[in-house]
Structure 1
Amino acid sequence: MRRLIALAALTTAALGLVVPAATAAPAPPRTGFEQTNGASWTGLDEEQAFLAAVDKASRHTAVSRIGESVQGRPINLVRVGPAHAISTVLFICSQHGDEPSGREGCLSKLRDLAFQRPDPKVRYLFVPTANPDGRAADTRTNAKGVDINRDHLLLVSPEAKALAKVIKDYRPEVIHDLHEYGATPKVYDKDVLYLWSRNLNVDGHLHDESVALSKDYAKPHVERAGQSTGEYGIWTDPVTGKPIRQVAGDGQERILRNTAGLKHAVGMLLETKVDAKDPAEAADPALNQRRRVQGQLAAVAGTLKLVADRWVSIQLAVAKSRLAAVLGQGPVYFGGADNEPAKPEDVDKNPACGYRLTAEQFAAHREVLGLHGIFSVSAPGGRIVPRHQEAGKLVPLLLDPRADFGLVKTAPAPHCV
């Protein structure tokens, strides 16, 4: 064998052949945050260049423009994995423009997934910057002062409309919403906080999967990363640790984690603490910012593990939720949450089969109904929106006079067939 190797070497040299040296694969693109080791957040122009580089270098991604902000900035959707798959997981990042750590986690995670062998069962969708005007201005709201995370029913903002269309078109089974919070007062003080779909209209099977995502997957993954966790919305006494107040708009259907459940997805809100946790972070903003992004990434890892472990269970829960909506099962709740019993007057045990819209009402609200995937049928003088449809969980919350955040107050229809 050694003689053959030596002969081959002599032949190559005699013929003047050049054997190219092995070259390493080019390094995957890095975010602006990564390039500065956490000293600065990735700029919006850097994001565009980064996504273009990932899309060019990976065979497993597709970047599309799903809408524009109030000021005309692009809202991007990144798909990682097969165009069609059994499960779809949606990560929505930076709805609040002054909460950037989730956005950084999304950018680096979509890149990492893009350069791995894809799971044929799952496609991952990322909206890295759901509120680009807010990110540019470092504000919570969009350029018109709308809190996008309170706009998932009425859809008055172009940003919320773009997200609603993604949910309608792709029908994700899991929606992970990434946020941050200020830790003042100190009665509300953990590195990472989580919360699930609490609206009482969310199907019970889906609610349980949402709780599992928060408590059994996000929480332990974050804690293994060395960060403290807690339930979002519970203020605790800093001395005794006992709950003293509940905040967070728990059952509000207009908040994405609840809207997700009403649209048949496992929903979770994830919040990292902005404030410095110790003197070292106070002295080094980059240390603080890296900790926040690491918390987001740990929670995202929990979501990926949930889908890997429980994708069959999630599929069944989603199917049961959709079927229950089509059949019109269960009462309709206009108040309360899973931690707050509904008042008797807020429970309709025999809800109407649908709601009557005048022609003028339908013309005014047709776009929003369509973005929610709600269909209607023609009726004398207008339209009837039946409750027995896949989007039926939303119908009373949009059209019933008792709804707190409704689109328009309409009359229940006595007959829907």
Structure 2
Amino acid sequence: MKKTLLTLSIAGAMVLSASPLATTPASAVGNGPGYGGNETINTSILHTYDEMVSYLKTQEAKQKDLELEVIGQSVKGRDLYLAKYMKNPDNPTILFLTQQHGNEQLTTEGALEFIKHLGTGKMKGVADNVNILIVPMLNADGAMGDVDFSLDDYIADGGRNLTRFNAVEVDLNRDHVDKIQPETQALHFNVMQKYDIDYMIDLHHQGANSERDGKLVSGSILYPNTPNADPEVVEKSKQLGAVVFDAVDSKGWGHLGKYVGGSAETISRNGIAVEYGISTLLFEMRGMSDHYREDYVLGQKSNGYLIKQTITTLDSTVRAIADGSIETMDTSFWDTLAEQTTRQTE
């Protein structure tokens, strides 16, 4: 059974009008408290790996359109799951990828809630016209702190630390060319090469002090920027970003910047676009669940909004692909969207 605090956080995220968080001023995610040595960083309110698996299996039993697939195992032998909604193989397909970095978990929390959301009447008929694939926790060992290196300097409380790296201290999001790690192999061999995927959103978290136009961001987005990506793939990636920007930045609690990211193809956003011709979008949410740097973690008072931001992202893109509106999205906003900068702290 999930912990009470996280349940309340998700409930508040899904029904903002009924939540005390709804009274928070505009740009609430950006203005939410950083750690600063004062805020609580409590990992006990996040799903453990075993709780996530139990949650997925419960939803599979309830939803006739949901099928779970084990795509491989982590370094430590944990099964890696893919949640699938595939009613028609000829439909366009979108993949949502979370927790390549094990200390970036609120995207996973949002993805799990979205899976439950897909089984409700609110999404009736949507999955008839779009196939949905969700990898809810690629770096299961890092998410559980079950690693072969010390996490003594990490900040979080609540029973476990979470780390960016997998069990052997490799950054999975730098392994999309060589594909050496078992988690990366599982993703490429049993998802990217198995399914005909049109779009992918790679969901991450960044530091807590990024800002745009003088205000802290709730997140940042970026399309493939390697020169080897096909221009049509890049344009469709920009359309995917336009859907997300319109859905999130228009909210009182949403404020997005343009991510400043490298062009290396070892990164999934770039490598997957080039290797498979898939339109990709990086979404970096504000703050991390754990880190050894204080300016990277975020007080849990912002959890509800960050989970809501993930749900909004998944919901809006699924609907836009299903009804075809993504194909007419105006991408000119990218020309004026400011690159985020880092706010200097004392």
TM-score, length basis structure 2: 0.70
Q: Does the 8 A contact of 1:225 with 1:298 survive in 2?
A: no
Please, which of 96, 99, 105 is the counterpart of residue 110 of structure 2? 105
The structural deviation recorded for 1:59 is 0.6
Cα deviations across residues 148-167 of structure 1 (Å, max 9, x unaligned)?
A: 11111100100000110201
**1:236 aligns to what?**
none
Q: What is the correspondence of 1:204-283 to structure 2 with a 5 Å cutoff? A: 204-214=231-241, 216-226=242-252, 227-233=254-260, 248-249=261-262, 251-262=263-274, 263-274=276-287
Distance 1:310 1:204 in 2: 20
Q: What is the correspondence of 1:338-353 to structure 2 with a 5 Å cutoff? A: none
The structural deviation recorded for 1:295 is 1.7
Cα deviations across residues 343-402 of structure 1 (Å, max 9, x unaligned)?
A: xxxxxxxxxxxxxxxxxxxxxxxxxxxxxxxxxxxxxxxxxxxxxxxxxxxxxxxxxxxx
**1:297 aligns to what?**
311
Distance 2:320 2:224 in 1: 16
Distance 1:252 1:77 in 2: 26
**1:367 aligns to what?**
none
**2:165 aligns to what?**
141
State the identity as a percent: 26
**2:223 aligns to what?**
196
Structure 1 pair 31–170 and aligned structure 2 pair: CA distance change class (3 A): farther
Structure 1 pair 312–86 and aligned structure 2 pair: CA distance change class (3 A): farther
Structure 1 pair 225–143 and aligned structure 2 pair: CA distance change class (3 A): same
The structural deviation recorded for 1:308 is 2.9
Please, which of 195, 200, 212 is the counterpart of residue 170 of structure 1? 195
Classify the secondary structure of the residue corresponding to 1:170: coil
Cα deviations across residues 276-304 of structure 1 (Å, max 9, x unaligned)?
A: 9xxxxxxx944211121122222223322
Q: What is the correspondence of 1:1-16 to structure 2 with a 5 Å cutoff? A: none
Distance 1:31 1:63 in 2: 23
Structure 1 pair 308–46 and aligned structure 2 pair: CA distance change class (3 A): same
1:183 corresponds to which letter in structure 2?
Answer: A
Q: What is the correspondence of 1:10-409 to structure 2 with a 5 Å cutoff? A: 34-37=6-9, 40-82=45-87, 84-115=89-120, 116-118=123-125, 119-137=127-145, 138-165=162-189, 166-184=191-209, 189-214=216-241, 216-226=242-252, 227-233=254-260, 248-249=261-262, 251-262=263-274, 263-274=276-287, 285-310=299-324, 313=327
Q: Does the 8 A contact of 1:175 with 1:268 survive in 2?
A: yes
Classify the secondary structure of the residue corresponding to 1:112: helix
The structural deviation recorded for 1:275 is 7.2
The structural deviation recorded for 1:200 is 1.4
The structural deviation recorded for 1:120 is 2.4
The structural deviation recorded for 1:97 is 0.4
The structural deviation recorded for 1:98 is 0.4
Distance 1:99 1:162 in 2: 20
Bigger Rg, structure 1 or 2 = 1
Distance 1:275 1:146 in 2: 18
Aligned length: 264
Q: Does the 8 A contact of 1:33 with 1:42 survive in 2?
A: no
Structure 1 pair 32–41 and aligned structure 2 pair: CA distance change class (3 A): farther
Q: Does the 8 A contact of 2:243 with 2:326 survive in 1?
A: no
Distance 1:306 1:255 in 2: 26
